[in-house]
Amino acid sequence: MPVVEQGSSRIWHRRTRNESLIRWFGWLLGVAVFVVCWQRISESTTWFFVWDAPRIANDIWTRATPPRWEYITQLGRPIWDTLNIATLGTMISLVLAVPVAFLAARNTTPSKLFIRPIALLVIVSTRSINSLIWALLLIAIIGPGVFAGVIAIAIRSIGFCAKLLYEAIEEIDHAQVEAITATGASRWQVMAYGIVPQILPAFAGIAVFRWDINIRESTVLGLVGAGGIGLQLSSSLNVLAWPQVSLILLVILAAVVISEWVSAKVRGAII
C-alpha cells in the first residue's frame, strides 16, 4: 500500500513498508560486505607508504619530465611489432571465430544438444581469461617473442568475436534464407547466399572494433615478454629510466587514440 493514512491526511510513498524494510536490509548487507572488504585491503597495506605517496608521486613526476624525445628513434620497430600483433592476431581469431559462431548460433548449429554447448564453452573460456595470461602461458610453451603475442591475442579474441557474431547470426531475417532454400540450394549455398550477405556488415564492424581493442592490449603484452612496445616499457621500468617511460606512455596513448579514431571512422562508413 503506497498510500499511508496519517490521521485524516493521506500521504503518498514510493514503496510499501515491507519493500523499504527489505531495501534497508539489502543496503545494510552491502555496506557490511564493503566494510569487510575494505578492512582486508587495509590490513595488507603498508600505510606509511600511502601517507608518503604525494612526495613519491612528485618525485616520479620530476624524474619523468621532460620525456627523452631522442629515444623515439628506437621505438619504430616495437610499434611495428605491436601493430602486427594486433592485426595478425585479429585476423587469425576471425578465421577461428567464424566456425565457432556458426556452431553456436541456434539457427545454424548442427546439434543443439551436443555441439552448441561445446561452442559456448569455447566462447566463455577464451573470453574470461585475459590476453596477458594467455601470453604468459604461450611464452612458457612456444618461447618469448612476437609470435606468442600474436597467438595470445588470437585466442583471447575468439570468444569476443564469436559471441557478437553468433548474436548477429541469430538475428538474421529468415525469409531470405527460406527463399534461397526454395531455389534448391545446398546447405553450403544457403550459407553463402542466404546468411553470409546478411551478417557481412556486422562481421566487418566486429573485426574493426576488436582490432581497436587489440591494439590497446598488444601495447602491454611485452610486459610479460610477448613482443611489442611493452617490452621497451618493461626494460625502461626495470632500469628506472623514467624519461623513457614517459615517452613510451605518450606513444602508447597516441596509438590508442589513433586506433580508436580509425575504428570509429570505419564503423561509421560501414553502418
Partner 1 sequence: MSHRELDDMLGTAWRKPHFVANPMLRWGLVAGFVAYLIAAFMTIEVDWGRVYEGLDRGAQFVLAFTSPDFVSRAGDIWEGLLESIVMTVAASVVGILISIPIGLGAARNIAPMPIYLICRGIVAISRALQEIIVAILLVAIFGFGPLAGFLTLSFATIGFLSKLLAEDIESMDRVQAEAIKASGARWSQWINYGVQPQVMPRLVGLSMYRIDINFRESAILGLVGAGGIGATLNTAFDRYEYDTAAAILILIIVIVMALEYLSGIIRARVQ
Residue of 141, 271, 158 lying closest to 214 (CA atoms): 158
Nearer to partner 1, 146 or 168 (CB): 146
Contact predicate 182/148, CB 8 Å: no
| Lookup result for grid cell 553468433 | 166
Report how far residue 87's alpha carbon sits from residue 182's, in angstroms, rounded to the nearest whole number: 40
What are the angstrom distances between the C-alpha of 236 and each of 67, 244, 247?
Answer: 12, 6, 10
Element (H, E) at 2: none
Which residues between 209 and 268 bind partner 1 (CB under 8 A)?
216, 219-220, 223-224, 233, 237, 249, 252-253, 256-257
Interface positions, 87-126, toward partner 1 (CB under 8 A): 87-88, 124-125
Q: Which residue among 118, 133, 250, 258 contacts partner 1 (CB under 8 A)?
A: 133
**198 is an interface residue for partner 1 by CB under 8 A:** no
Element (H, E) at 16: none
Chosen residue from 20, 130, 183, 189 binding partner 1 by CB under 8 A: 130
Distance CA 26, CA 39 (A): 20
Q: Which helix (H) or strand (E) holds 255?
A: helix 242-270
Which stretch in 5-13, 77-85, 107-115, 174-182 sits in contact with partner 1 by CB under 8 A? 77-85
Q: Which of 1, 3, 41, 239 binds partner 1 (CB under 8 A)?
A: 41
Binding site for partner 1 (CB under 8 A): 30, 33-34, 37-38, 40-42, 44-46, 49-50, 53, 56-57, 60, 80-81, 84, 87-88, 124-125, 127-130, 132-133, 136-137, 140-143, 145-147, 150, 193, 200, 204, 216, 219-220, 223-224, 233, 237, 249, 252-253, 256-257
